[in-house]
Amino acid sequence: MLLAAALGIATGLFSTLPSPLPDLRLSDPEIIINAEGIPLHAGIVFGAMLAGLLWFWSERDFGKCLLAAGLTLIGWLTAVNTANGVMSGIVASDLFGNTQGAKGSREVLGWLVAGLAGGLIGAGFTACGVSIAAPSTRRASAWALILGLGTVLGLLLYPAARFDAGVLLFVPWQAAVAASIAYGLSRT
């Protein structure tokens, strides 16, 4: 588990590097693929690291490991876009009315709910991909740990956005999810 956490820290740090890709967005509806602070390589490198873990600790099936990496990347894209949609919806709403401070309250609530939703979705796709390659992670207890940590650590989206420091989200989230996957892999 310590090795997986260390690799999660490494991929989390790598994820904070500026993206070499330009901003990539689809329109109508807007779908973020790569943006400043939301680099596509974060999902790619985390998925590749998980594929490597699965290769060494579970079945050495290249196709299943590649599928796990692909679902992790899809989870990253889905989490980013869900969080963006949730945030936009809450901020644009009339929640808390028009009183002084209402907009600030909507923004805080938006970041928190967006973080929870994004964390859950990212962890869910990741757990699904991992469970394809590693039967030991298919147990409810393994899924609960992965989803629970991913969801709760999604709350770090707010401080990461507030201080414009992706490291506050990427490093703990990726380290904890990787360690929880390793825990599931070690329980046969």
Predicted local confidence at residue 188, as pLDDT:
61
Predicted local confidence at residue 36, as pLDDT:
86
For 102, phi then psi, to 5°, come to -65, -40
Higher pLDDT, 20 or 111: 111
Predicted local confidence at residue 173, as pLDDT:
98
List pLDDT tens digits, range 3-12.
Answer: 999 999 999 9
Comparing CA positions, the residue from 141, 149, 138 lying closest to residue 177 is 149
| CB proximity list for 34: less than 8 A, separation 6 or greater | 19, 21, 22, 23, 24, 40
List pLDDT tens digits, range 50-104.
Answer: 999 999 998 789 999 999 999 999 999 999 999 999 998 988 888 777 777 778 8
Amino acid (one-letter) located at 160: A
Report how far residue 131's alpha carbon sits from residue 50's, in angstroms, rounded to the nearest whole number: 11
Comparing CA positions, the residue from 186, 175, 184 lying closest to residue 14 is 175
Q: Is 163 a residue whose pLDDT tops 90?
A: yes
For 28, phi then psi, to 5°, come to 60, 70
Confidence of residue 27 (pLDDT cuts 50, 70, 90): confident
Higher pLDDT, 142 or 37: 142
Q: Which residue has the tokens 């907009």?
A: 103
Predicted local confidence at residue 187, as pLDDT:
77
pTM: 0.93
- Answer for the pair 134, 173: CB distance below 8 angstroms, yes or no: no
**Per-domain residue ranges for the chain?**
2-186
List pLDDT tens digits, range 135-160.
Answer: 999 999 999 999 999 999 999 999 99
List pLDDT tens digits, range 97-135.
Answer: 777 777 888 899 999 999 999 999 999 999 999 999 999
